[in-house]
């Protein structure tokens, strides 16, 4: 009988390269499948250094251009995936969708400046190296990264997978769950497509684009409330889905929409991802402007459940969740019809939800007859 090799002292301290290395190799292999995806935007990855510690790339187009770099983390959403993998009985790891969420947290921020994503680097940081040993989960994560890279046109030439035993400790009953994050580099070509938000002004219309649901904001609140329920994440919603399945619906990409609007030379005064602070985030600009919301989209099932069944106060709902809108465009009145038409043709559901007005910085949410303070207040 072959004697089992004794673990090194480093492995005993929490960093086991016999567990880490197969995951790293799987991610490198996945990255190699993505290297041509940004070519459509004139960006090319140097394939000679894919085994190294950074991605090398160049722009071979003719447009005068600038770059945008965005760093974002997923937050706690994959804790729900770990819980569902453990308890929902389907055998699904849910990490294909988690990979999409992780990438889009940075992508959807990057495109708000008019930048198209071309390079993505990820970090999968764990508290226990043994997390990397689940080959099915690792494959789902890698395949999810490849899928979203292909959809939005970016490569994954490099990444990081540290084991941080003394920093990352998961809440029970989950033994280990990684902290997921990523950096996206986007190209603005021509550079005149840069959107800074400085042109935002009273009289602009606010166009809301629907979300797929929770996306990745308000997760901590969802976890807290779900764990207070008898069936926790297996609680059935009125639409028949479990609470966990509904929470894990992947984030929507808005790349195709932004790209279509830029290609059509639509005048966009500001773009806002519908993320932290929920509907209150609409008052993102520091200037004395009010945002009057007169119409709204259908509210997703999960949010209605939190409001109607869990009885979460309305202000908490609106200041935590996206409430059905994942992206906002602020445009002159003359551009509203074009935005709605181009968006529909690109496969999105959009609605002219409100107006920017002179006045105190706040969001007047008329559909619920409530006024929301700006972010942080």
For residue 344, what is the domain's CATH number? 3.90.650.10
Q: Is the pLDDT of residue 365 over 80?
A: yes
Q: Which of 216, 232, 218 is nearest to 174 (CA)?
A: 232
Give pLDDT tens digits for 219-252.
999 999 999 999 999 999 999 999 999 999 999 9
Do 162 and 63 belong together in one domain? yes
CATH classification of the domain holding 86: 3.30.1330.10
- Helix intervals (H) in 227-351: 243-247, 255-263, 301-308, 314-318, 336-345
Give pLDDT tens digits for 3-15.
567 889 998 888 8
332-341-104-106 Cα dihedral, nearest 10 degrees: -20
Do 179 and 240 belong together in one domain? no
Q: Which residue has the tokens 């972010």?
A: 375
Do 210 and 76 belong together in one domain? no
Assigned domain for 9 exists: no
**pLDDT > 70 in the chain, percent:** 98
Last residue of a domain, one of 193, 223, 249: 193
Amino acid 344: pLDDT = 98
Amino acid 81: pLDDT = 98
Q: Which of 253, 89, 241, 274 is nearest to 184 (CA)?
A: 253
Residue 279 burial (CB count, 10 A): 29
Assigned domain for 198 exists: no
Assigned domain for 11 exists: no
Cα 252 to Cα 324: distance, rounded to the nearest angstrom: 11
Do 170 and 254 belong together in one domain? no
Amino acid 4: pLDDT = 60
Cα 75 to Cα 86: distance, rounded to the nearest angstrom: 19
Mean pLDDT calculated for residue range 276-297? 97
Q: Is the pLDDT of residue 164 over 90?
A: yes
Give me the chain's average pLDDT, please. Answer: 96
Amino acid 116: pLDDT = 98
Assigned domain for 377 exists: no
Cα 136 to Cα 94: distance, rounded to the nearest angstrom: 10
* Helix (H), strand (E) at residue 87: helix 77-87
Cα 137 to Cα 85: distance, rounded to the nearest angstrom: 9
Mean pLDDT calculated for residue range 17-21? 90
Assigned domain for 53 exists: yes
Do 253 and 174 belong together in one domain? no
The count of C-alpha atoms lying within 13 angstroms of the C-alpha of 168, restricted to the half-sphere facing its C-beta, is 24
Sorting pLDDT into bands at 50, 70 and 90, what band is 52?
A: low
Last residue of a domain, one of 173, 193, 213: 193
Mean pLDDT calculated for residue range 155-176? 94
Give pLDDT tens digits for 326-345.
999 999 999 999 999 999 99
Cα 169 to Cα 176: distance, rounded to the nearest angstrom: 7
Q: Please state the φ and ψ torsions of residue 72, each to the nearest 5 degrees.
A: -150, 155
> Which residues, in sequence order, are bridge partners of residue 70?
184
Assigned domain for 187 exists: yes
Do 319 and 174 belong together in one domain? no
Do 34 and 132 belong together in one domain? yes
Reduced to 3 states, what is the DSSP secondary structure of residue 51?
coil
Amino acid 376: pLDDT = 87
∠ CA 342-345-347, nearest 5°, is: 115
Q: Is the pLDDT of residue 103 over 90?
A: yes
Do 271 and 165 belong together in one domain? no
Q: What tokens were used for 60? A: 């071979």
Sorting pLDDT into bands at 50, 70 and 90, what band is 283?
A: very high
Q: Is the pTM of this model over 0.85?
A: yes
Do 36 and 183 belong together in one domain? yes
Mean pLDDT calculated for residue range 105-121? 98
List CB contacts of 278: < 8 A, sequence separation 6 or more: 217, 218, 317, 318, 319, 320, 321, 322, 323
Do 157 and 209 belong together in one domain? no
Do 189 and 221 belong together in one domain? no
Q: Compute and round to an integer the Cα radius of gyration of the chain.
A: 22
Assigned domain for 304 exists: yes
**pLDDT > 90 in the chain, percent:** 91
Over the range 184-223, which residues count as b (16 or more CB within 10 Å of their CB) and which as e? Answer: bbbbbbeeebebeeeebeeebbbbbbbbebbbbbbbebbb
Mean pLDDT calculated for residue range 295-316? 97
Q: Is the pLDDT of residue 89 over 90?
A: yes
Do 132 and 41 belong together in one domain? yes
Sorting pLDDT into bands at 50, 70 and 90, what band is 155?
A: very high
Amino acid 14: pLDDT = 84
Sorting pLDDT into bands at 50, 70 and 90, what band is 53?
A: confident
Assigned domain for 131 exists: yes
Mean pLDDT calculated for residue range 69-92? 97
The boundaries of the domain holding residue 252 are 205-372
Sorting pLDDT into bands at 50, 70 and 90, what band is 352?
A: very high
Q: Is the pLDDT of residue 46 over 60?
A: yes
Mean pLDDT calculated for residue range 263-278? 97
Q: Is the pLDDT of residue 2 over 70?
A: no
Number of domains in the chain: 2
Mean pLDDT calculated for residue range 249-264? 98
Amino acid 50: pLDDT = 74
Last residue of a domain, one of 193, 223, 246: 193
Q: Which of 341, 337, 367 is nearest to 354 (CA)?
A: 367
């Amino acid at each position: 009988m072959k004697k089992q090799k004794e673990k090194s002292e480093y492995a005993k301290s929490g960093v086991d390269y016999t567990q880490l290395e197969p995951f790293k190799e799987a991610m490198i292999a996945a990255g190699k499948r993505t290297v041509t995806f940004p070519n459509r935007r004139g960006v090319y990855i140097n394939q000679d250094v894919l085994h190294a510690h950074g991605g090398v790339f160049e722009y071979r187009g003719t447009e005068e251009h600038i770059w945008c770099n965005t760093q974002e983390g997923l937050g706690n959403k994959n804790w729900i995936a770990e819980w569902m993998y453990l308890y929902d009985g389907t055998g699904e790891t849910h990490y294909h969708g988690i990979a999409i969420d992780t990438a889009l947290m940075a992508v959807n921020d990057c495109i708000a400046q008019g930048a198209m994503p071309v390079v993505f680097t990820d970090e999968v940081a764990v508290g226990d190296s043994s997390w990397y040993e689940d080959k099915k989960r690792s494959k789902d994560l890698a395949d999810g990264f490849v899928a979203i890279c292909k959809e939005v046109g970016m490569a994954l030439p490099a990444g990081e997978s540290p084991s941080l035993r003394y920093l990352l400790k998961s809440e029970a009953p989950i033994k280990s769950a990684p902290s997921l994050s990523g950096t996206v580099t986007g190209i603005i070509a021509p550079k005149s497509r840069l959107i800074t938000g400085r042109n935002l002004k009273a009289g602009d219309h606010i166009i809301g684009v629907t979300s797929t649901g929770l996306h990745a904001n308000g997760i901590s609140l969802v976890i807290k409330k779900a764990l207070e329920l008898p069936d926790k994440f297996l609680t059935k919603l009125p639409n028949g889905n479990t609470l966990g399945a509904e929470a894990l619906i992947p984030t929507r990409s808005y790349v195709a929409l932004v790209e279509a609007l830029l290609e059509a030379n639509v005048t966009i005064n500001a773009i806002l991802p519908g993320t932290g602070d929920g509907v209150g985030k609409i008052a993102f600009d520091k200037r004395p402007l009010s945002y009057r919301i007169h119409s709204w989209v259908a509210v997703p099932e999960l949010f209605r459940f939190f409001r109607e069944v869990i009885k979460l106060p309305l202000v908490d709902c609106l200041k935590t969740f996206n409430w059905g809108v994942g992206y906002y465009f602020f445009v002159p009145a003359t551009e509203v019809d074009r935005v709605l038409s181009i968006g529909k043709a690109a496969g999105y559901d959009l609605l002219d939800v409100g107006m920017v007005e002179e006045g105190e910085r706040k969001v007047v949410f008329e559909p619920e007859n409530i006024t929301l303070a700006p972010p942080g207040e």
